Each structure stands twice: as C-alpha cells, then as structure tokens.
Amino acid sequence: MHIYPDAADVVRDLSPDEPVILNRPHAAARAARFFAEKFPGKPLYAVKANPSPDLLQILWDSGITHFDVASIAEVRLVRSLLPDATLCFMHPVKTKSAIREAYFTHGVKTFSLDTLEELNKIVAATTNEAGDPAADLRLCVRLRVSSEFAELSLASKFGIDLADAAPLLQETRQVADWLGVCFHVGSQAMTPFAYIQALERVRAAIAEAAVTVDVVDVGGGFPSVYPGMEPPPLEDYFEIVHRHFEALPIAYNAELWCEPGRALCAEYSSLIVKVEKRRGDELYINDGSYGALFDAAHVDWRFPVAALNSELAGVPAEFSFYGPTCDDADFMKGPFMLPQDIGSGDYIEIGMLGAYGTAMKTGFNGFGDAQVVNVANEPMASMFRGDRPAPTRDNVVSLR
C-alpha cells in the first residue's frame, strides 16, 4: 500500500471530494508497545473504541494479546482475525445465545456481570448438554464507581453498588474458580486520582465479602490528548494504579488488568474534510455527527484541526462546523481554530479520531463514504512521544 508522507500530500494527490481517513500504523504500534511494556499488569484492548481489522492486527503484532469484547459480533471478528488471542466478554448484560456461542465456539472463558440474574444466565448458558456446569469460568464482578474525574461518564449504566456487592461476590466465587473485580472510571479520566478512588471501593467490597480475588481489572479511561485536555503522563497513572493494587487484600498471585480503548487508538487516525460552504464563522464540511465526528457534535468534544492549504495566511479564528446531512443536529460547536481566510474548497485535517471517531461513521442520509490511506507523519498530538507540554495548573496530579 502506498504510504503518503502527510495529509497535505494526500490533498495534492487526490483533491478528494469525499472525506479521507488517514491511518498511522506506527502510532498505534507505539501505543500498544507502551502499554505492553509499561503497564504493571495485562492490558486488554477494548475493541469498541475501534474494531478495524488492520488496527487489531497492529495491536496484536505489538504485544496486545487480550481483547475486551462486548458483543457476539466483536467476539467473532477478533476470533476470525486472531485465532490465538484471549477474548474477555466484558459487557455486563449479554444474551444467553451470545454467551453460549462465545464459550462453546470461540473459547471465551472470562465474562463480566453486575447482577445475580446475569450470573445465573452465564452459568446456564455454559452448562453442557450432559448437564455439567462449566468448571473453567473466569468471572469478573463489575463495581459501580464514580466518573467525576472523567470527561465522559460511565457511572450510571453498569456496575453493582458497593452496598450490594458482597453477596454477589460470594455467589460468584461459588461457581467460579477464578474471581475478578472490575470497574470503569469513565472515559478520558483526567487524573489518576480516579483510579485511587475506585480501588478504595474495590478494597471495601473485598473486605466486606471476605472472598479471595484473583484479578483486579481497572478498566479503561486512560486518556489521550485533545485541545484543552492535557492529562498527566500515563506513567503516573500506571504507578499509582500499581501502588494501590499492591496494597489490596487479594491473593498473593492476583493479577492486575486494564482495558484501554481510547489510549491505544486515538492517535491511529485523522480525517481530511473539505469545506463546501462558509457562512460567517460556520464552515459546512463533508463529515459530521453521523460520520467520524459524533463526539464533536454530541458532547462538544474538541479535536485538533489544521488547514491543509499552504496559501491560507489568515490569523487563527474560531469556527464551528456543520456536517453534510440535512439534520440541524449535525453541528459541531467547537470552537475550532483555523485561518480566518479559510473558505469553500479548502481542506482541513481533523486529528485524534482513531478512538470513537472513524469507528462511529454511519451511512445516514447517503453520506459516510471515505477513502482510507496510510500516512507516515506524526499524529497531531501524542501521549507516547515524550514531547508533551510542561504540566499546567490543571493537569498536575495532587495526591491527597
């Protein structure tokens, strides 16, 4: 496959009328090696952040051996691409047929749950035709934790409350030789303190249930870099997670896991869009909330942008975007900083769309096509390059 040096070169070569996804395999490989080498435990890639087969292969080749899957389609996809990968079905609410197929057809042993009902479902679905219950289940009880330090909350949908956790941990221990506790602090956790608080809850749950725990899975939430969101280095997160994990009352050989989605793939992709119309400080572009920019529209996420036409000389000004569909909600407030003389026919690169970006594209209203090419240059920002700005008041961790 032809590899372009950068986005400007793609525009010169293709003058694309449709959006173009730019993939940076080297950036995903670097993130994977970083987690595989530096996380003091086992990193599972959370496939929902970006299920692209090319990306899954890159992560596997770079040391990621375990995958957090959440649907039977994700189970089938990863299993078909990576026959030797370990798959963990970490959605706490699954169908019986999905559990059965995952266990009997795809060799999935690890499942998460947050209710007694789901525990019974897992046991029933993995019992064989002779009526013998599975002897090799690895079950993780998902605890509800606070999302107060994360940009995107995951606190209300899943997880059992601490007050109710002890009986569920005890029941789960009865049917599984291997018991885990997992949680998710919310996506884009801006301080490692999020994990300290969650691990304190794990400690309380284990102490009250008085069960032996074989794995503590600190979930996802590890951040990437976006305009106005510059987290502390990931090494700080790893160090703090490790220290607090070591102090838990768990089996001496207990394992530490994490489930990064965003942090492993945010830097993998960016997107070239074309400006079709300008109205004041609003740019009508050819991708939007039904494309790779779902979060820009729905939670006002700010992605880095750069104009790709070298003749634009205006000082940077604030713009918002309209996407291509006929829906008023296809609007991205920004502000996105671009040269003030940008206009119809100009191209923009939008960065850091590898996580929950390119994976979100739909075909709504007939839009959604995009060519995909590889580029060799650096992503617009990186957690893994060692050149991030000095800490500011907002991103310094205080260890209370």
Site of interaction with ligand PLP (CB under 6 A): 46, 48-49, 68, 90, 184, 187, 219-222, 259-263, 355
CB of 365 to ligand PLP, least distance (A): 27
Q: Which CB, 283 or 359, lies closer to ligand PLP?
A: 359
Smallest distance from the beta carbon of 361 to ligand PLP, in angstroms?
A: 17
Residue positions counted in the chain: 400
The residue among 68 and 267 lying less far from ligand PLP, judged by its C-beta, is: 68
Q: How far is the CB of 188 from ligand PLP (least distance, A)?
A: 6
Residue with smaller CB distance to ligand PLP, 217 or 349 = 217
Instruction: Detail the DSSP E strand segments found in the chain.
Output: 3-4, 20-23, 42-46, 66-69, 86-89, 110-113, 138-142, 150-152, 178-182, 187-189, 215-217, 255-258, 269-279, 282-285, 305-307, 316-322, 331-339, 347-350, 371-375
Task: Please name the residue that has the structure tokens 């109205």.
Answer: 279
Of 77 and 348, which has the nearer Cβ to ligand PLP?
A: 77
Nearer to ligand PLP, 150 or 350 (CB): 150
On whether the CB atoms of residues 241 and 258 are closer than 8 A, the answer is yes
User: CB-wise, 264 or 293, nearer to ligand PLP?
Assistant: 264
- Residue number with the smallest Cβ distance to ligand PLP: 220
Residue nearer to ligand PLP on the CB measure, 348 or 355:
355
Which residues are within 8 A (CB) of 321 and not within 5 positions of it... i.e. 6 or more apart? 282, 283, 284, 285, 288, 293, 296, 331, 332, 334, 336
| In the complex, least distance from residue 260 CB atom to ligand PLP, rounded to whole angstroms | 5
Cα-trace Rg, the chain: 22
Name the minimum Å distance from CB 386 to ligand PLP: 21
How many angstroms separate the first and last alpha carbons of the chain? 51
57: phi > 0 → left, psi -120 to 50 → alpha, else beta; which? alpha
Smallest gap from Cβ 389 to ligand PLP, in A, equals 22
* Comparison of 71 and 127: residue with beta carbon closer to ligand PLP: 71
In angstroms, give the least distance from the CB of 267 to ligand PLP. 13
Tell me the H-state helices in 111-192: 116-125, 162-175
Provide the minimum distance between the beta carbon of 383 and ligand PLP in the complex, in angstroms, as a whole number: 12
Buried b / exposed e along 296-327 (16+ C-beta atoms within 10 A): bbeeebbbbbbbbbeeeeeeeeebebbbbbee
